[in-house]
Amino acid sequence: MEDFCAKFVSQKISKTRWRPLPPGSLQTAETFATGSWDNEENYVSLWSIGDFGNVDSDGGFEGEHQLLCDIKHHGDVMDLQFFDQERIVTASSTGCVTVFLHHPNNQTLSVSQQWTTAHYHTGPGSPSRSNAPCTGVVCDNPEIVTVGEDGRINLFRADHKEAVRTIVWEVHFHPSNPDHLFTCSEDGSLWHWDASTDVPEKSSLFNQGVRSSTFLSHSISNQANVHQSLISSWLSTDPAKDRIEITSLLPSRTLSVNSLDVLGPCLVCGTDAEAIYVTRQLFS
């Protein structure tokens, strides 16, 4: 612990991120951002470590991280990423996505852009629109992608007031075969995500006896892999099993596909095109 410098900040810290260095820079990282959560007031803060490890004239460490500036953040900071050298993007438990701008001349942070209802719940059991936490954000200038507990993936651009695109309205695992996942989206897509591509008897996948015998044959041939075989395909860390086949189930894009349900070989979905699509041959 001698190489660490601790500073108590009276906040629970949920996220920490180093500010990226300019391309080609030979410097070491000196500035980082933090976000807090589960406090009466949460903050996004920018810190500098200066000359880490050097001793000043008073015998103290010059490298102790110093607060450059901070700004109040509405809700818990669920995620935090640098958009570029001056801008920080945060995901909030309120469903809001905010871009903060750092002003190095006077060491302040201000709100540059904000999407207050980036993620929200609608439908039965919810008010007309209730906030859903935004749980993650990733940046690739000029684009920002967010995910939330409402099941949506949003694509934003820093210079746009609205989302450029919104994806995944509902997500359903097949009730008896969780290697199969079905999603519908506002963009009119209805997708089948198949993680069972390593199973040879694919045409008989819904025959539980065949699936069981396949599992047993694998177990007998390789007892060391029994525990691994019990792990869901979606959670497997084996690169050889990390293959997913994605199939578009609708013949052409339509208006928003708002809801779906699946049972056995049967699937039903409803759309904003005032049409209901039904199939009883999902796996033929």
Least Cα distance to 241 among 223, 260, 218, 220 occurs for 218
Supply the pTM of this predicted model. 0.65
- CA separation, residue 268 to residues 57, 59, 120, 175 (Å): 74, 72, 25, 14
Least Cα distance to 249 among 148, 181, 155, 178 occurs for 181
Contact by Cβ (8 Å): 47, 18: no
What integer pLDDT is reported at residue 167 of this predicted model? 75
Phi/psi at 124 (5° precision): -55, 140
What integer pLDDT is reported at residue 221 of this predicted model? 36
Query: DSSP secondary-structure letter at 193?
Result: E
Rounded average pLDDT per 10-residue block, the chain, 284 residues: 78 94 84 95 92 52 80 97 96 97 96 94 68 93 91 88 81 82 84 72 34 32 43 58 77 80 86 85 78
Which single residue is written with the structure tokens 């801008």? Answer: 87
- Using CA of residue 229, residue 234, residue 235, residue 238, what is the dihedral sign? positive
* 61-115 confidence digits (pLDDT tens): 455 789 999 999 999 999 999 999 999 999 999 999 999 999 999 999 999 999 9
- Which residues on adjacent β-strands are paired with residue 70? 45
Contact by Cβ (8 Å): 113, 100: no
What integer pLDDT is reported at residue 207 of this predicted model? 34
Q: Which helix (H) or strand (E) holds 99?
A: strand 97-103
Q: Quick one: CATH architecture of 13-168?
A: 7 Propeller (2.130)
Domain ranges of the chain: 13-168
Question: What distance in Å separates the CA atoms of residue 218 and residue 233, rounded to the nearest whole number?
Answer: 15
Question: What distance in Å separates the CA atoms of residue 156 and residue 99, rounded to the nearest whole number?
Answer: 11
Least Cα distance to 134 among 163, 105, 173 occurs for 163
Question: What distance in Å separates the CA atoms of residue 283 and residue 264, rounded to the nearest whole number?
Answer: 9
Q: Which residues contact 220 (CB under 8 A, 6 or more apart)?
A: none
Question: What distance in Å separates the CA atoms of residue 155 and residue 163, rounded to the nearest whole number?
Answer: 6
What integer pLDDT is reported at residue 204 of this predicted model? 32
Least Cα distance to 229 among 196, 193, 182, 264 occurs for 196
Q: Cite the DSSP H helix spans in the chain.
A: 208-221, 226-229
